[in-house]
Amino acid sequence: MTDIDPITLAVLSGRMEQIADEMDATLFRAAFNPIIAEAHDASHGIYHATTGDTLVQGKSGLPIFVGVMAFAVQAIIDKAAADGDMADGDIYAFNDAHIGGTHLSDMRLVRPYFRDGELFCYLASVGHWHDMGGAVPGNYNPAATDVFQEAFVLPPVKLVRGGVLQQDIVDILMRNTRLPLSAQGDLNGQLGALDLGVRRMDALLDEYGTDTIRSALSALSDRAETLMRAELSALPDGRWEAGDFLDNDGISPDALPIRVALEIRDDRMVLDFEGTAPRCAGPVNIALPTAVATAYVAIKHIFAGLPANSGVMRPIEVRIPDNTLLSAEFPAPTGGYTETILRMIDVIFAAMAQAAPDRVVANAYGTINALSIAGKRSDGRPWVMFSFYGGGHGGSAETDGLNHGNAPISTATIPPMEILEAAYPVMFRQWALRPDSGGAGTHRGGMGAVYEIEVLEENGAEAFLFGERGRFPPRGVAGGGDAALNAFAFEQDDGWDRPPLVSKMRGIRLKQGQAVRLETPGGGGYGPAEERSPEATARDVARGLMTEAQADADYPGWREAGA
Q: Nearest to residue 484, comparing CAs of 443, 518, 434? A: 434
Strand runs (DSSP E) across 435-522, as ranges? 448-455, 461-466, 487-492, 495-497, 504-510, 515-519
**What pLDDT was estimated at residue 207?**
96
Mean pLDDT over 99-116 rounds to 93
pLDDT category of residue 410 using cuts at 50, 70 and 90 = low
Pairing of strands 316-319, 268-272: parallel
- CA angle, 232 then 1 then 92, to 5°: 80
Q: Nearest to residue 404, comparing CAs of 428, 433, 430? A: 433
Fill in the amino acid letter for 420.
Answer: L
The CA R_g of the chain, rounded to the nearest whole Å, is 24
Number of domains in the chain: 2
Q: Nearest to residue 132, comparing CAs of 147, 151, 146? A: 151
- CA angle, 198 then 202 then 208, to 5°: 140
Fill in the amino acid letter for 116.
Answer: D
Task: Decide if 141 is inside a domain.
Answer: yes
**What pLDDT was estimated at residue 310?**
84
pLDDT digits (tens, 9 = 90+) for 387-401: 889 999 999 999 999
Listed range (83-97, 342-356, 404-418, 465-479) with the worst mean pLDDT: 404-418
Distance CA 303, CA 18 (A): 22
Task: Decide if 39 is inside a domain.
Answer: yes
Mean pLDDT over 434-446 rounds to 98
Domain around 37:
6-224
**What pLDDT was estimated at residue 492?**
97
Last residue of a domain, one of 160, 192, 224: 224
Mean pLDDT over 369-374 rounds to 94
**What pLDDT was estimated at residue 18?**
95
Q: What three-state secondary structure class fits 543? A: coil
Residue bearing the bigger pLDDT, 4 or 111: 111
pLDDT digits (tens, 9 = 90+) for 470-508: 999 999 999 999 999 999 999 999 999 999 999 999 999
Mean pLDDT over 9-27 rounds to 94
Mean pLDDT over 93-116 rounds to 94
Residue 324 has pLDDT above 80, yes or no: yes
pLDDT digits (tens, 9 = 90+) for 177-216: 999 999 999 999 999 999 999 999 999 999 999 999 999 9
Q: Are 287 and 327 in contact (CB under 8 A)?
A: yes
Q: Which residues pair with 271 in a beta bridge?
A: 262, 318
Average pLDDT for the chain: 94
Tell whether omega for the bond before 331 is within 30 degrees of 0, i.e. cis: yes
Q: Are 439 and 395 in contact (CB under 8 A)?
A: yes
Task: Decide if 288 is inside a domain.
Answer: no
**What pLDDT was estimated at residue 84?**
92
Q: Which residues pair with 260 in a beta bridge?
A: 242
Residue bearing the bigger pLDDT, 6 or 240: 240
Last residue of a domain, one of 173, 195, 224: 224
- CA angle, 462 then 468 then 470, to 5°: 100
Distance CA 97, CA 288 (A): 10
Q: Nearest to residue 218, comparing CAs of 310, 303, 151, 109? A: 310
Distance CA 41, CA 35 (A): 6
Task: Decide if 338 is inside a domain.
Answer: no
**What pLDDT was estimated at residue 375?**
95
**What pLDDT was estimated at residue 1?**
57
Distance CA 496, CA 328 (A): 36
* Percent of the chain's residues with pLDDT above 70: 98
**What pLDDT was estimated at residue 155?**
96
Alpha helix stretches (DSSP H) within 31-123:
34-37, 63-83, 97-100
Q: Nearest to residue 510, comparing CAs of 387, 415, 427? A: 427
Q: Are 478 and 432 in contact (CB under 8 A)?
A: no
Distance CA 363, CA 526 (A): 9
Mean pLDDT over 139-154 rounds to 92
> What CA–CA distances, in Å, run from 197 to 106, 130, 191?
20, 24, 10
Task: Decide if 425 is inside a domain.
Answer: yes
Task: Decide if 312 is inside a domain.
Answer: no
Fill in the amino acid letter for 189.
Answer: G
Listed range (4-18, 230-244, 443-457, 493-507) with the worst mean pLDDT: 4-18
**What pLDDT was estimated at residue 407?**
83
**What pLDDT was estimated at residue 39?**
81
Listed range (219-223, 247-251, 361-365) with the worst mean pLDDT: 219-223
**What pLDDT was estimated at residue 270?**
98
pLDDT digits (tens, 9 = 90+) for 224-249: 999 999 999 999 999 999 999 999 99
Last residue of a domain, one of 209, 224, 239: 224
Task: Decide if 422 is inside a domain.
Answer: yes
pLDDT category of residue 530 using cuts at 50, 70 and 90 = very high
**What pLDDT was estimated at residue 66?**
67
**What pLDDT was estimated at residue 128?**
92
pLDDT digits (tens, 9 = 90+) for 44-101: 999 999 999 888 887 776 777 767 889 999 999 999 999 999 999 999 999 999 998 7
Backbone angles phi, psi at 301, to 5 degrees: -70, -45
Q: Nearest to residue 552, comparing CAs of 421, 419, 436? A: 436
pLDDT category of residue 409 using cuts at 50, 70 and 90 = confident
Fill in the amino acid letter for 96.
Answer: D
Task: Decide if 130 is inside a domain.
Answer: yes
Fill in the amino acid letter for 52.
Answer: G
- For the chain, the farthest-separated pair of C-alpha atoms sits apart, in whole angstroms, at 77
Mean pLDDT over 411-419 rounds to 81
